[in-house]
Structure 1
Amino acid sequence: MAPSAEEDWSDSDEEVGSEVETSVLLGVPDGPITSVNELADAAVSRIGGHPAFLLANDPPISSCQCKICSLPMELLVQMWCPFENSPMDRALYVWGCANPGCQRKDGSVRAWRGLRYNEKYAAKLEAKLARKSAQEEAKRQVEQAKQASKANPFSLKVSSNTKNPFGLGAQIFGDTSSGANDMKNDQLSEDEESEAESSTSEQSLLTAMTNTTLSESPWTAAPAYLPPLYLSTASEYLPPQPKTKISSSVEVSEPSVEGGRDISWAFEPYENSLEVDQVFERFTKRVGYEGEQCIRYDLNGTPLPFSSDKIFESLFPTPVSDSLPVTEPDFKIVLPQKRIYTSSDGVLSPCKICKGKRIFECQLMPNLINILRNIESRPSKTLSDEDRRTAVQQTLKGGSEKGMEWGTCMIFSCKNDCRVDEEGKEENDVWREELVLVQWDV
């Protein structure tokens, strides 16, 4: 319903009111990890440190090598992020090179996802989906019975395959001979499963833990930011959008809501303007609401671009503008053009294995660099003399100071979260590199 034109609308950008929750999860640092068990648990998200892998065997050490200098990179973050209704345990790993000579070059930040088939959870998931399907079928039959009774209200004939259309009354009066008993049994089975899941939640997570340490692995030779920090998540809250004065004759659309959260901001288009860098202004404004954020996680959502560079141009292309009228009588108002996020195959390269579409998953934020600067980067004591000499020479070539210079790193993952090999066969252990687009600091 359109607001009244006489209503007092605020033009202030900081309107007083309750905040709204977006679809974004923010990753923030939460103290050092000291437990040996948690350091070996792939389900514990972290900043820095050594990776904890899901795979039965460690992936090749070349996964963390910088494509510019070929030296091992430090782990920036590890995130536990299984897909919903997937039988696969899943973790995302991101490495970054801090050598000055590698900055602003593709390949100095790399992301990989590790998958491992969780047999116990897969069985629970299959039973859950089967029960849900049965419940939906039961609802469908009830709806069919209701529609049939509406078509002929004087007919009391009920098919033997159709549940009692008066099931509600039967439940109220305690008739256990009808479909009410089936519903009760369904509820009992759900309660039993919930209790079982609660009692075995710790046991389920053990499938994500590595039973072996990295003590005999080549990964111990890689440098790392130590000690690692917990990466905790929190929902993003934003102040409500400011209200503007508007005519009562103008139709106002309702805000987009998904899962009880306001996501209208995610679809807010960018003005196509050449004045100030509105992209950077919007970035700093949104990040300013929670300055501690190191990660923005929004699977299949919209990335928050850092600046109006070539990456922004590709993800938020210039729209086709309406042509201006050439004759004087054809008066026409041309509204400012808007830029809207696109993830078409022409912009993002598809998955190299299944050729599936890539979707935005998360992005690293500038505060992560600040956090890592406060953690010491320590090369392993097991590095050979030749490796140490190479590392020193590489540092001298690039300068005396090391540091990452990106504004944000966007990770785009396979939408299918594929676990097939090149021959199309499903694998229980999967190690795949994902697409990283880096917007460098201005």
Structure 2
Amino acid sequence: METEDNIEDAFSEDEYQADEVRHSNVLLGFAEVLISEEETPVIEDTFIGGKPLWLHPESPPSPDLLVCKNCNSPLRLFLQTNSPLAHTLYDRIIYIFGCNKPQCRRKKGSVRAIRSLRKDPETMKRREIEDKKAANKLKLEQEKLEAKREKNRKLTQDLFGASSKDSGSNPFGSNPFASSDNSFTEPEKEKTNEEAEIIASEYLSEVPSASHLRAALKKLEVKLPSFPGYILDIDDEFLNPGQQVLEPLPNDITLKEALDSEGRETGILTKMPEKINNADAEEMMKSLDDVAFRHFTEIISFNTKQVLRYDIGGVPLLYSTKDDVSKAFYDERGKLRKPELFNIPTPGYHPNGSRRFELQLMPQAIIDFESDGSIDILKDGMEWGTILVATDSDDFIPDAYFDENYVAYVEEWCGVQWEEEVKF
């Protein structure tokens, strides 16, 4: 049975002093540049809206990954993020696509997440050589520095060490600066030769077997509609009370105060109708009473314009603890699980694998999408609070999924937390 105390305990590690600035492990994305004919994204960018870019122009995903599972209409791009993993040599992209048709609102399959990899052998070989050269260069610099320090220690010993052994001898009788056997320059020459002989081989274990590669689709077979697009600026998350734009929702807030709050226009609370009946008011107050929702609004209040939170292997910022999505992260007692114990569905393409939380799209994105007046949040079924994405923990994709351009796509777990439904 979920209790408020249990949820508060789960968030206890996030408590802070009023004047304390905290730096989290989360990366935030903010809409920075409007996509236009003059400003177009490249594959290394992270952006919302606009048209998707594929890891190879002749390797789009299968059309069945890009349609709504309810109405079968083509989806719109919500997010594309360039998200290569540390210590890997291949390219990696996460996409979120969604349907904004009213009849598909709140239905499973109306929002979908896709992970794409490109394991091009030539690119991976080049990157491995570059990495090894950089590592060798750093190692040589460290060895040269240590050799210089050792030489200085030896000079000091030659200058002053002899006098302690024989006070009658002339410490300057021999020249400590005379040429020696050049013992400090020889290793450097050896290392330079080693650097010239660098051979890339580690990447080979990651390259899909050529016998399994399938033919590429060459051209996307569906035409995707689009929202206005923005290239994101990525930055570390700082929670600075001195820069907190909005105060957290107080415990005794009324519904009218919540509806009138600035949060409605800053991505904390999306649009709500001006008039609601008593039954709707009761449901909405239940949302305000949810400790997870209060925590959500509090964290966003430090960076109200955030559209993306990236924290691979971390803990999501949940919008609610009252829906099915939250059950993946909370146990039956209402306790937040440890990340390794999250109950996220196993990948169908990797039955023995598991998934980890990676990123979430924030409601500020909806406000950015409607910047040109082309959508209405409620009427177009876009009143979600956050979209969570979890990906395969091993970043695995079967060889048979890769095409001749070494590009592959798999659908990942996508959990949508919706606003409390308001009836008109």
Q: TM-score range by the shorter chain?
A: 0.5 to 0.7
Correspondence list, 1:142-221, <5 A = 169-170=150-151, 172-173=153-154, 177-178=182-183, 182=187, 217-219=220-222, 221=223
Instruction: Mark the CA change 1:187 to 1:57 in structure 2 (over 3 Å): closer, same or farther.
Output: same
How do 1:84-163 residues align onto structure 2 when only pairs under 5 Å count?
84-118=86-120, 119-125=122-128, 128=131
Q: How many Å separate the matches in 2 of 1:89 and 1:182?
A: 36
What CA distance in whole angstroms lies between the structure 2 residues aligned with 1:402 and 1:27? Answer: 24
Cα distance change, pair 81–179 in 1 and its aligned pair in 2 (3 A) = farther
- Output the CA distance in 2 between the equivalents of 1:81 and 1:223: 24
Query: Contact 1:294 / 1:366 at 8 angstroms: preserved in 2?
Result: yes
In structure 2, give the amino acid aligned to 1:124: R
Unaligned runs of 5+ in 2: 1-14, 156-179, 199-216, 242-286
Give the 3 Å change call, closer, same or farther, for CA 51–127 of structure 1 in structure 2: closer
Q: Which amino acid aligns with 2:92?
A: R
Displacement of 1:306 in angstroms is 0.8
Equivalent in the alignment of 1:349: 345
| More displaced 10-residue stretch of structure 1: 175-184 or 305-314 | 175-184
Change (3 A) 1:424 1:102: closer
Rounded Cα–Cα distance in structure 1 between residues aligned with 2:37 and 2:152: 52
Q: Which residue of 2 aligns with 1:372?
A: 369
Partner of 1:218, secondary structure, is: coil
Moved more, 64-73 or 174-183: 174-183
3-state DSSP of counterpart to 1:373? helix
Give the distance between the partners of 1:215 and 1:31, measured in 2 at CA: 30
TM-score by length of 1: 0.60
Compared CA separation, residues 183 and 173, structure 1 to 2 (3 A) = farther
Structure 1 residue aligned with 2:396: 418
1:366–1:184 CA distance, 2 compared to 1 (3 A): farther
2-structure distance, mates of 1:80, 1:352: 24
Q: Check the 8 A contact 2:84/2:90 in 1, yes or no.
A: yes
Structure 2 counterpart of 1:281:
294
Which residue of structure 2 lines up, in the alignment, with residue 316 of structure 1?
A: 330
Q: How far is 1:59 from its partner?
A: 1.7
TM score, norm. by length of structure 2:
0.62
Give the match for residue 436 of structure 1.
414
Aligned equivalent of 2:23: 21
- 1:369 deviates by 1.1
Paired with 2:98 and 2:400, the residues of 1 have a C-alpha distance of: 28
| Distance change (3 Å), C-alpha of 1:229 and 1:179 | same
Q: How does 1:244-259 map to 2 (within 5 A)?
A: none
What is the total number of aligned residue pairs between the two structures?
Answer: 312
Matches within 5 A, 1:209-248: 217-219=220-222, 221-226=223-228, 228-239=229-240
1:408 matched to 2:382 = no
Distance 2:53 2:149 in 1: 53
1:406 and 1:275 mapped to 2: Cα distance?
A: 15
* Structure 2 Cα separation of the partners of residues 295 and 359 of structure 1: 17
Q: 2:399 aligns to what SS in structure 1? A: coil
2-side partners of 1:289 and 1:21: how far apart?
12
Moved segments of 4+, more than 4 Å: 129-136, 165-168, 171-181, 183-190, 214-217, 422-427
Equivalent position amino acid for 1:291 in 2: T
What CA distance in whole angstroms lies between the structure 2 residues aligned with 1:61 and 1:424?
16
From 300, 305, 310, give the equivalent of 1:292. 305
Contact 1:48 1:229 in 2 (8 A): yes
Give 1:414 shift.
Answer: 1.2
Q: Structure 1's 63 and 377: CA in aligned 2 closer, same or farther, altered over 3 A?
A: farther
1:45 Cα deviation (Å)?
1.9
SS of aligned partner of 2:125: helix
Where does residue 12 of structure 2 map in the other structure? none
**Secondary structure at the residue paired with 2:123?**
helix
After superposition, the Cα gap between the structure-2 partners of 1:37 and 1:292, relative to the gap in structure 1 and judged at 3 Å, is closer
Tell me whether 1:47 sits opposite 2:48 in the alignment.
yes
Letter in 1 for 2:347: C
| 1:283 counterpart letter in structure 2 | F
Contact residue 75 and residue 98 of structure 2 kept, 8 A: yes
Unmatched segments (≥5 aa) in structure 1: 1-11, 143-164, 194-213, 241-273, 320-336, 379-394
- 3-state SS of 2:306 partner: coil
**What is the alpha-carbon distance in structure 2 between the residues aligned to residue 176 and residue 276 of structure 1?**
79
Give the whole-Å Cα distance in 1 for the aligned partners of 2:218 and 2:126.
Answer: 34
Task: State whether residues 353 and 421 of structure 1, in contact with CA within 8 Å, keep that contact through their aligned partners in structure 2.
Answer: no
Distance in 2, Cα, partners of 1:60 & 1:413: 19
Partner of 1:201: none
Amino-acid identity (%) = 27
Q: Describe the shift of the 1:54–1:275 C-alpha distance in structure 2 as closer, same or farther (beyond 3 A).
A: closer
Q: Report if aligned partners of 1:85, 1:125 keep a CA contact under 8 Å in 2.
A: no
Q: Please say if residues 292 and 319 of structure 2, whose CA atoms lie closer than 8 Å, have aligned partners that are also in contact.
A: yes
Counterpart check, 1:81 vs 2:83: yes
